Amino acid sequence: MEEYLEKIIRHRTSVLVKEKTQIEGLLINLLPQETAEELKTTNRVVPRLYQVVTILFADIQGFTKISKEISPEELIRILDEIFFHFDKIVEKYNIEKIKTIGDSYMCAGGVPRKNTTNPVEVTAAALEMQYVMNELNVRRNIQW
CA-based end-to-end distance of the chain:
66
Whether residues 119 and 60 share a domain: the answer is yes
pLDDT number for residue 131 = 97
- Number of compact structural domains in the chain: 2
Output the average pLDDT for the chain.
Answer: 90
59 and 97 within one domain: yes
Name the 3-class secondary structure at 98. strand
Q: Tell whether 32 and 66 lie within a shared domain.
A: no
Question: What is the percent of the chain where pLDDT is above 70?
Answer: 99
Note whether residue 104 is domain-resident: yes
For residues 25 and 23, what is the distance between their CA atoms, to the nearest angstrom? 5
Q: What is the pLDDT of residue 112?
A: 85
* Residue 144, pLDDT score: 67
Residue 25 lies in a domain: yes
Asked if residue 97 lies in contact with residue 107, where contact means CB atoms within 8 angstroms, the answer is yes
In this structure, are 58 and 109 located in the same domain? yes
Q: Are residues 95 and 116 in the same domain?
A: yes
The answer, yes or no, to whether residue 107 has pLDDT greater than 70, is yes
> Other C-beta atoms within 10 Å of 103: how many?
20
Instruction: Count CB-CB contacts under 10 A for residue 126.
Output: 18
Angle (CA) 14 44 105, round 5°: 85
We report the CATH number of the domain holding residue 102 as: 3.30.70.1230
Q: How far apart are CA 4 and CA 53, in angstroms?
A: 57
Secondary-structure breakdown of the chain: helix, strand, coil percentages, each rounded to the nearest 5: 60, 10, 25
- pLDDT tens digits along 81-105: 999 999 999 999 999 999 898 899 9
Shared-domain flag, residues 19 and 87: no
The reply to whether 85 and 128 lie within a common domain is yes
Four-CA torsion 34, 101, 119, 45, nearest 10 degrees: -20
Least confident piece of the model among 13-17, 47-51, 140-144: 140-144
63 and 129 share one domain: yes
Shared domain for 68 and 6, answered yes or no, is no
Which structural domain range is residue 18 located in?
Answer: 2-42
Regarding whether 74 and 9 lie in a shared domain, the answer is no
For position 120, what pLDDT does the model report? 98
In this prediction, residue 76 carries a pLDDT of: 92
